[in-house]
Amino acid sequence: MILFVEQALNGLQYGSMLFLLASGLTLIFGIMGVINLTHGAFYMVGAYSAAFAVLSTGSFLVGIAAALIGAGLYAVLVEVAVVQWLYRRDHLYQVLATLGLILFTNEAVSMIFGRRPPLMDIPPFLQGSVPLLPGLDYPLMRVGFIVTGALVAIGLWALVNHTRVGMLIRAGADDREMVDALGVDIRRLYTLVFGLGGALCGLAGVMAAPLLAIEIGMGERVLITTFVVIVVGGVGSVRGALVGALLVGMVDSLGRAYIPQLLQLSLPASTADTLGAGLVSASIYLLMAIVLLVRPNGLLPARG
Amino acid sequence: MSRSAFTRRMIAAGLASAAALPMMQSAFAQAGASAPVTIGFITTLSTPAGYIGEDIRAGFQLALTDGKLGGVPVNLAIEDDALKPANAKQAADRLIQSGVKLFTGVNFSNVLAAVVPGVLESGGYYVSLNPGPSSFAGERCHRNYFVASYQNDAFHEAAGLAANRLGYKRVALLAPNYQAGRDALEGFKRTFKGEIAGEIYTKLDQTDFSVELARVRSLAPEAIYQFHPGGAGINFAKQYANAGLGKSVPMLIPAFSMDAHMVGATGDAADGIYASALWTPEATTPASKAFVEAFRKAYSRTPTMYAQQAYDTANLIGSALKAVNGDVGKQDEFRKALRAAQFTAVRGKFSFGPNQHPVQDYYLTKFEKRPSGEIVQTMVRKIAEDYGDAYAAQCKLN
């Protein structure tokens, strides 16, 4: 039972990480209709910015600021320099351009920071574990991750539902031509959303950095899962991204934890191992397929 | 496309091929006796794994004196494969056509599988400086194919022997779910005598291991053996330490799961990890000390095992080139000289087994934090002497 709680917490933590990445991506996709493959690169830029800020100042808070600013600014730069010119083009152009930007970003980062992955230690106030239940000590860093995800979810909910910008974002996701026709400077809104998405990626980057290798190409590894999240949750909706991220996080974590063991109960060991490993890898895609069968637009799409 | 753009492109293509000409000419010229021998050196210089290629190139070049290897002038035709077998195959075919007979440099088994058959069919030689996949070690061994590094399974088998020596009775195993991961665990199980507490396969692209770490804790093994190369290895070690397992359950790994480069990114989480290895920068033999010192002087960094493997391979090739005075066309003599392996290896004892894969000593090493805060890989003890590989018996070369 304790083990199950721990695995569920792991799922929750993975879910909050995915939520930080997916909320920005879903807004960009939903509002601007842009397939932005560079999104993973923002995450990498955030992690690198944080690592080098922490290395030179020693303060984790400066690292968080550097990640938010670095990734946010880079996202704005990408929007203004490249993506802006492709809004009216076909998705294929956007995919090609943003794929090119992934390669560009990877090479640029390795030229600026070098190929050696920088080291970022866990900040002192997040080191160690906390006893959550008798017999369950959970690493504080991961608790911090869950709390960050929850705070961002609340913050985004307030932003989207209770501010003027949020109203425009919702309107943009619903019908962008109409927003434009009503005299709103949709260009600026687009740049803003891109920057916001980038900053959220940066936050994910800085939180993940102490637990991960900060390396070139770290963004591509999370990108596909992030797309799965927004497809499951429904494109363009932050609520959908939250539900999708938690679902995908839970299915992936609990799948990894229990599918091989469950199969071992009923099948011979070697078959169970092969089948289990395959099922574990496929679990989130199976989830996506089932959701799409039942609700082709995702669970909570922006456009009902 | 407009006409002028098309013309421009044609001109650019023309210029590019013109620029390639001198290289091809030099390759053709090697028929002459005193002309340099061209060595096709295909390796991975870009992508996150590019640091390995850089170290391989640096180690190989360190063995050259005034552009000569074993007193014979050589010309390295260096190509980047970007970790893509197709790129490597193209580069190899191009070099084969321009008359190159001697190849080395490849760093990954899957890339090697694309390069080696073409080289051997053209009557060329391949001397591997890092991967030694089982597919070419047994029945498909070849008289012109040499592995100067290790057979891939050997580190895992050595780790199994190390676990026996450390007295572990119950060990949990973790590896990514792909061929090399499965081979790793099979290799370990081949020599480990104790009980396997559990085998956990991770996803190939996985970055977070919290779920698996919780499983390890619930299995409560005496130790774990894990194989996660590259960034995943760093992630695993950091998260293992963060979960508090590092202190209670010792971790054993094969050497390439944690090299000098990765230690820097892992930090204190690497402290206390055991690894099976052929060599570490801390080895105290005179050849090793001289190599580490020369490498640090030339490149201002500590060499990884990849650099050491490349350096040894270069010296092996040098010894054979010297024996035939640079004439690779003397096939039987050249092969015989390679097989004799008359060179001083940085790692210590070295000879070839019947399948032209190494027979050598393996060590248990430990990552330890020095009072200065630096983490070094120290030699603990020798765990296998004159150790070959499990596939040699299937090879019918002679």
Is the pLDDT reported for residue B66 higher than 50? yes
On whether residue A53 sits in a domain, the answer given is yes
Output DSSP code: residue A209: G
Residues of A with Cβ-Cβ distance to B201 under 8 angstroms: 260, 273, 276-277, 280
How far apart CA A84 and CA A195 sit, in angstroms, is 13
Do B379 and B283 form a contact (C-beta atoms < 8 A)? yes
Higher-confidence residue of B148 and B244: namely B148
| Under 8 Å between Cβ of B309 and B378 | no
Question: Is A275 among the domain residues?
Answer: no
pLDDT of residue B8: 52
In a domain, A143, yes or no: yes
B43: which strand partners? B80
Note the pLDDT of residue A280.
87
Q: Which residues of A touch B241 (CB under 8 A)?
A: none
Instruction: Tell me if B249 sits within 8 A of B222, measured CB to CB.
Output: yes
**Inter-chain touch B203–A257, beta carbons under 8 Å:** no
Res B35: pLDDT: 80
- Three-state DSSP at B376 gives strand
Mean pLDDT for chain B?
89
The minimal CB distance from A3 to the residues B207, B218, B267 is found for: B218
Task: Please give the residue of chain B at the shortest CA–CA distance from A212.
Answer: B235
| A284 assigned to some structural domain | no
Q: B188 and B173 in contact (C-beta within 8 Å)?
A: yes
Burial class of residue A262 in the structure, from the number of CB atoms within 10 Å of its CB (0-12 exposed, 13-18 middle, 19+ buried): middle
Of A10, A115, A218, Cβ closest to residue B210: A10
**Whole-number Å distance between alpha carbons of B273 and B281:** 16
Residue A15's closest chain B neighbor by CA?
Answer: B208
Give residue ranges of B with CB < 8 Å to any A CB.
Answer: 46-48, 50-51, 54, 177, 199-205, 207-208, 210-212, 214-215, 218, 230-232, 234-235, 238-239, 242-244, 261-262, 264-268
Inter-chain contact B214–A10, Cβ cutoff 8 Å? yes
- List the single residue in A110, A117, A276 with the smallest CB-CB distance to B234: A117
Check if the beta carbon of residue A226 is closer than 8 Å to that of residue A39.
yes
Q: Reduced to 3 DSSP states, what percent helix, strand and coil does chain A have, rounded to the nearest 5?
A: 80, 5, 20
In a domain, A110, yes or no: yes
Per residue in B75-108, pLDDT tens?
999 999 988 999 999 999 999 999 999 999 999 9
Alpha helices in chain B (DSSP H): 3-28, 50-62, 85-97, 109-121, 152-166, 179-191, 210-219, 231-242, 245-248, 260-266, 286-299, 305-323, 331-340
Rounded Cα gap, residues A299 and A28, in angstroms:
18
Question: Is residue A49 in a domain?
Answer: yes
Q: Are A284 and A251 in contact (CB under 8 A)?
A: yes
Q: Do A3 and B211 touch (CB under 8 A)?
A: no
Report ipTM (2 d.p.).
0.85
d(CA B235, CA B53): 22
- Token digits of residue B31: 């028929």
Domains and CATH numbers, chain B: 3-150+285-352 (3.40.50.2300), 153-277+362-393 (3.40.50.2300)
Please give the residue that has the higher pLDDT: either A269 or B285: B285
pLDDT band per the 50, 70, 90 thresholds, residue B2: very low
Q: Is A260 left (phi over 0), alpha (psi -120 to 50) or beta?
A: alpha
Look up the domain containing A209 and give its range. 2-217
Instruction: Please give the angle made by the CA atoms of A169, A238 and A13, to the nearest 5 degrees.
Output: 145
Q: Which of B48, B204, B210 sits opposite A115 (nearest CB)?
A: B48
The helix/strand count (H/E) of chain B reads as: 13, 14
Would you place residue A18 in the very low, low, confident or very high pLDDT band (cuts 50, 70, 90)?
Answer: very high
Give residue B5's pLDDT band: very low, low, confident or very high (50, 70, 90): low
The 10 Å CB-count burial string (b at 16+, else e) for B51-67 is bbbbbbbbbbbbbeeee
A148-162, A180-194, B356-370, range with the lowest pLDDT: A180-194
Band (A247; pLDDT cuts 50, 70, 90): very high
Chain A CB contacts of B230 under 8 Å are: 213, 215
Length of chain B as a residue count: 398
Percent share of chain A, pLDDT over 70: 99
3-state helix, strand and coil shares in percent for chain B, rounded to the nearest 5: 45, 20, 30
- Domain contains A12: yes
Nearest by CB to residue B51, choosing from A115, A129, A211, is A115
Number of domains in chain A: 1
Average pLDDT of span A141-169 = 93
Task: Name the pTM for this structure.
Answer: 0.84
> In the predicted model, what is the mean pLDDT of residues B43-54?
85
- The residue of A54, A211, A254, A284 whose CB has the most chain B CBs within 10 angstroms, and thus the best one to mutate to test that interface, is A211
pLDDT in tens, A222-240: 999 999 999 999 988 899 9
Is residue A302 domain-resident? no
How many other CB atoms sit within 10 Å of the CB of residue B13?
A: 10
